[in-house]
Amino acid sequence: MPYVTRYLDDSITVNAPAKLNLFLHITGRRPNGYHELESLFAFTKQGDKIHIKQSDLPGFRVEGLFAKHLKGLDPKENLVLKAATILAEYAARPLDVTICLEKNLPVASGIGGGSADAAATLLALDAFWGLDCNKNFLESLALQLGADVPACLYNVPLYVTGIGECMAPADLPKQYGVVLINPGVALSTPAVFKAYRAQAKQFDAPMGRVLPKDSFRFIEFLKAKTHNSLLAASKTLCPEIVAVLSLLKQDKQALYVQMSGSGATCFALYNTQKEADSAARRIRALMPSWWVMADTLSL
Ligand code: C5P
């Protein structure tokens, strides 16, 4: 579970780190239109943050680098408010808190920012109100908010199937460094899935949970046996992805390069955070307009 920090004034902060799909295969489609996936989720350490404190009047504000990108959003569509509302309804209590979303991750970028924020809100309010909801119940609320939200309750590597609701622990061989790049183009997930349906000829065959334990073999497995099924569709909507992937692949120290989710954020894995830090510095110098983050994947 993500780290919940409680301060002396009883306010609470919960981290909402970025989600990466180390691979993402599409194995089918449900009658309700949702796609069945087989994916390996991993999480960074840094990301957005949710801060909650007591207040007579309910309040919501957004701070941080990407706050302005949420300005035009209808509050009813905001996943943080939706999460807070459904938990308050369940607990039959007024929404007597101020919620601050620290938006440090780019929006509509394939790294689950909105899903992570919603999951962190559920966990923060559960702790703040002392509800002590059980995991299955929180997962069912999370799934109502979005397919990726249940996994974001955990923030540890997960082998994910169904539309995102079937999760099994997945061990990564080591703590990889990672560089994330977003070229500054927001991509709508439904639009990417629509483009995928127009292009794709067949679904991927399920592989099963077969993850090598040794790092060399794990990376070889990712390279040889996995892909992101949405990549071709995302590239047609955002051609900048080609340049991002190509720059990441030029780095000899990068172990594995892929696009996350429906894009446009792409990432590279490194043996250490130190290698990731220096790669991020080089990339920022070359492409100052891109968002570049270096971090470590959680184990
Ligand atoms: O569940 P979430 O709101 O994140 O999904 C956004 C959209 O992405 C859905 O409305 C659907 O079009 C598409 N989607 C999908 N299959 C998934 C996840 C998302 O088709 N497993």
Q: What phi and psi values does residue 204 have, to the nearest 5 degrees?
A: -75, 145
- Residues making up the annotated binding site are 106-116
Q: Specify the 3-state DSSP secondary structure of 171.
A: coil
What is d(CA 20, CA 182) in angstroms, rounded to the nearest whole number? 13
ipTM: 0.95
What are the pLDDT digits (tens) for 199-231?
A: 998 999 999 998 999 999 999 999 999 999 999
Tokens for 48, please give them.
Answer: 């957005």
| CA-to-CA dists, residue 25 to 28, 155, 159, angstroms | 9, 20, 12
What confidence score (pLDDT) does residue 2 get? 66
What are the pLDDT digits (tens) for 4-48?
A: 898 888 899 999 999 999 999 999 999 999 999 999 999 999 999
Q: Is the dihedral of CA 92, 94, 96, 98 positive or negative?
A: positive
User: What is the full DSSP assignment across 152-163?
Assistant: HTT-S-EEEETT
Please count the other Cβ atoms lying within 10 Å of the Cβ belonging to residue 224.
Answer: 7
Q: If you take atom 18 of ligand 1, which residue's CA is the nearest one? A: 147
Closest ligand 1 atom to the C-alpha of 148?
4
The strand ranges marked E within 185-289 are 256-259, 266-270
What confidence score (pLDDT) does residue 1 get? 63
- Domain-wise residue ranges, the chain: 4-169, 177-296
Q: What is the mean pLDDT of the chain?
A: 95
The matching CATH number, chosen from 3.40.50.1820, 3.40.50.300, 3.30.365.10, 3.30.70.890, for 177-296 is 3.30.70.890
Tokens for 16, please give them.
Answer: 């909402």
Q: If you take atom 2 of ligand 1, which residue's CA is the nearest one? A: 146
Alpha carbon of 150 to ligand 1 centroid (Å): 13
- Residues making up the annotated binding site for ATP are 106-116
Q: How many helices (H) and strands (E) does the chain have?
A: 9, 11
Alpha carbon of 236 to ligand 1 centroid (Å): 19
Alpha carbon of 189 to ligand 1 centroid (Å): 7
What is d(CA 96, CA 164) in angstroms, rounded to the nearest whole number? 31
76-95 burial: b if 16+ Cβ within 10 Å, else e: eebbbbbbbebbbeeeeeeb
Q: If you take atom 13 of ligand 1, which residue's CA is the nearest one? A: 190
What are the pLDDT digits (tens) for 182-193?
A: 999 999 999 999
User: What is the full DSSP assignment across 97-135?
Assistant: EEEEEE--SPSSSSS-HHHHHHHHHHHHHHHHTT----H
CB 223 within 8 A of CB 257: no
What are the pLDDT digits (tens) for 88-116?
A: 999 999 999 999 999 999 999 999 989 99
Closest ligand 1 atom to the C-alpha of 164?
21
Q: If you take atom 12 of ligand 1, which residue's CA is the nearest one? A: 190
Alpha carbon of 147 to ligand 1 centroid (Å): 6
Which residues does ligand 1 sit against, CB inside 6 Å? 34-35, 37, 146-148, 163-164, 189-190, 193
Closest ligand 1 atom to the C-alpha of 115?
4
Alpha carbon of 262 to ligand 1 centroid (Å): 10
User: What is the full DSSP assignment across 212-235?
Assistant: -SSHHHHHHHHHHH--BTTHHHHH
Asked if the domains at 4-169 and 177-296 fall in one CATH topology, the answer is no
What is d(CA 245, CA 266) in angstroms, rounded to the nearest whole number? 7
Tokens for 292, please give them.
Answer: 């570049």
4-169 folds as Ribosomal Protein S5; domain 2 (3.30.230)
What are the pLDDT digits (tens) for 47-90?
A: 999 999 999 888 999 999 999 988 877 777 899 999 999 999 99
What is d(CA 114, CA 116) in angstroms, rounded to the nearest whole number? 5
176-201 burial: b if 16+ Cβ within 10 Å, else e: bbbbbbbbebebebeebbebbeeebe
| CA-to-CA dists, residue 288 to 15, 177, 268, 279, angstroms | 27, 21, 18, 14
What is d(CA 228, CA 203) in angstroms, rounded to the nearest whole number? 12
Pocket test for ligand 1, best of 141, 143, 193 (most atoms within 8 A of CB): 193
Pocket test for ligand 1, best of 27, 30, 32, 35 (most atoms within 8 A of CB): 35
Catalytic residues: 19, 148
Closest ligand 1 atom to the C-alpha of 37?
21
pTM for the predicted model, two decimal places: 0.96
